Amino acid sequence: MQSRANRCGRLSHMIGQFKSAVTKYANAHDIPFMWQPRFHDHIIRNGVEMNRIADYIQNNPMKWELDRFYKKR
């Protein structure tokens, strides 16, 4: 799978390049940063599903302080 994902033009390859560049920038500027180790990708099949996901993306950050992994600094 990895060799297939590394072919130019694949979305997974482009995301990998982006994540690599951001990580290098953060390390070079002493910015504490880590990517989430896993993610869930999903094909959006219709407008209702797209709106539900868009709502989640927009509103979920407001719930961060309620998350069990939240730590006050």
pLDDT tens digits, 13-32: 888 899 999 999 999 999 99
> Do 16 and 35 form a contact (C-beta atoms < 8 A)?
no
Q: What is the DSSP code string of 16-33?
A: HHHHHHHHHHHHHTT---
Is 55 inside a domain boundary?
Answer: yes
Is 31 inside a domain boundary?
Answer: yes
* pTM: predicted TM-score of the whole model, two decimal places: 0.47
Is 36 inside a domain boundary?
Answer: yes
Is 7 inside a domain boundary?
Answer: yes
Is 71 inside a domain boundary?
Answer: no
Q: What is the pLDDT of residues 26-73, one digit of tens each?
A: 999 999 988 887 777 778 999 999 999 999 889 988 888 888 888 877
Is 73 inside a domain boundary?
Answer: no
Domain that holds residue 16: 2-66
Higher pLDDT among residues 44 and 5, named by residue: 44
- When divided into structural domains, the chain yields a total of 1
